[in-house]
Amino acid sequence: MFLTGTMQINTQGHLEIGGIDALQLVEKFGTPLWVIDEEGFRRNCRRFKEAFSSWGDVLVAYAGKSLSNVAICKIVAQEGLGLDVVSGGELYTALQAEFPPERIIFHGNNKDQEEIRMALQVGVGRIVVDNFHELDLLNSIAGEMRCRADIMLRVTPGVEAHTHEYIQTGQIDTKFGFTLPDGQALEGVGAALNSPNLNLTGLHCHIGSQIFDMDSFRHATNLMMEFTAQIQEKTGHEMADLDIGGGFGIYYAEGDKPTYPEEWAEAVMTTVQEKARLYGLRVPRVIIEPGRAISGPAGITLYTVGSFKEVTGVRKYVAVDGGMADNIRLALYNAEYSALLANKADQPPAEIVSVAGKCCESGDMLIWDIELPQVEPGDILAVFATGAYNYAMSSNYNRLPRPAMVLVNQGSADLILKRETYADIIRNDMVPERLRNE
Ligand SMILES: *Cc1c(COP(=O)(O)O)cnc(C)c1O
């Protein structure tokens, strides 16, 4: 179901989130509006942490790329989670939130020198090294800075996870990581162990996103434990960490059947423990990196309905005051969403419509074919599970100012991201002297 966290239909028949009527939020902050349910977000953090910690030493590192700003990083820090960052910008955001650097994991397949220096300077917990070029670069920068970097190697195990199944050797054709099946990963380990300024603490893999299938995780975990054993046998080096990435699927629309964190925990942790026993290894500290599963369900987007277009016998388009600039996921990979009319949340469905954005692209759609009560201009459309990869992937396409984001909790609503203005839109525009009028 798409109502999660503190969302409910109140006695007036309106959508309520964080103890506040969605229409009140609209009145105060306008639309489009990203709304984050603080309690829902925190519950998602705790659920993963508790589910995995009950099996042993586990670090749950929230994948900040799914949704990051200073307030969100503060919440993640308060919940005692770690944090994945993939760029200097995400690292800077975390540091501005006073996120403990030792709980930060730095990812990315092309970190530049400045980003690497920044990561070493602030002392991030782990840098996940993606390729041979980066091994060299990091080793030499760490040498210059007279420090030793704790690293994990990103391994591509050759498990391609789909939402409902996995393909064993499909996914080696990817830009990420050291390939396991062809021996590149073992070579990478050798190179890391020969780098005097690097301390190889473990292995990392991430097999995909929006995954429902536990077998793909079990299988990847198996391969990583097998590789860990192979490394120990060949080099004598013991791996302290095993990071199996994120990708835990969530409910967006009918047909999505999320696996509970407790089930993921059991699948992963029993595999780790069994394989450790089988190969005579010390049980590593396990790291998991859920992004979407924490931030996604905790966010909704509120839009105001505007114009309509009926294509006789084909479909009815209803347009809202946002679109691909604030949610590019349908345009990008055919993502599906659930929605309701926040002001008619208790009314039965009356028609099937398709929700379009206001950008100049035919592909600027938010939802194809959704059942809603009779839709009228001025209605407030609430789209669910937009916490992840919506703001994070947003743009100013068509020079649309980005929406505001509010954090709601127990009846209060606070801005955590100001709505952009037209002045913000031209903030970095420059006009060469020769174009200026006399
Ligand atoms: C994207 C990513 C994640 C998070 O993925 P979700 O689908 O949001 O859980 C975790 N780790 C790595 C390395 C990633 O690239």
Q: Is residue 45 annotated as a catalytic residue, yes or no?
A: no
**Helix, strand or coil for residue 17?**
strand
- What is the pLDDT at residue 128? 98
Cis preceding-peptide flag for 373 (omega within 30 of 0): no
CA angle 211/220/100 to nearest 5° reads: 75
Q: Give whole-number Cα distances, 180 to 159, 170, 230, 426, in Å.
A: 10, 12, 12, 47
Pocket of ligand 1, beta carbon within 6 A = 63, 65-66, 84, 107, 206, 209, 245-248, 289-293, 388
Tokens 């302290």 belong to 240
Cα separation, 416 vs 408, in Å, equals 10
Give the CA count within 13 Å in the CB-facing half-sphere of 117: 5
Which pLDDT tens digits describe the chain residue by residue (438 residues)?
Answer: 689 999 999 999 999 999 999 999 999 999 999 999 999 999 999 999 999 999 999 999 999 999 999 999 999 999 999 999 999 999 999 999 999 999 999 999 999 999 999 999 999 999 999 999 999 999 999 999 999 999 999 999 988 776 666 665 557 788 889 999 999 999 999 999 999 999 999 999 999 899 998 999 999 999 999 999 999 999 999 999 999 999 999 999 999 999 999 999 999 999 999 999 999 999 999 999 999 999 999 999 999 999 999 999 999 999 999 999 999 999 998 999 999 999 999 999 999 999 999 999 999 999 999 999 999 999 999 999 999 999 999 999 999 999 999 999 999 999 999 999 999 999 999 999 999 876
Q: Ligand 1 centroid to 66 CA: how many Å?
A: 8
What distance, in Å, lies between the first and last C-alpha atoms of the chain? 62
User: What is the pTM assigned to this prediction?
Assistant: 0.97
For the chain, how big is the Rg over CA atoms in Å? 23
Cα separation, 241 vs 280, in Å, equals 16
Cα separation, 242 vs 283, in Å, equals 9
Q: Ligand 1 centroid to 437 CA: how many Å?
A: 50
- What is the pLDDT at residue 1? 63
Taking CA atoms only, the protein residue closest to ligand 1 atom 7 is: 247
- What is the pLDDT at residue 348? 97
Ligand 1 atom, smallest distance to 65 CA: 1
Give the CA count within 13 Å in the CB-facing half-sphere of 18: 23
Sign of the four-CA dihedral 165, 169, 175, 179: positive
Q: Ligand 1 centroid to 118 CA: how many Å?
A: 22
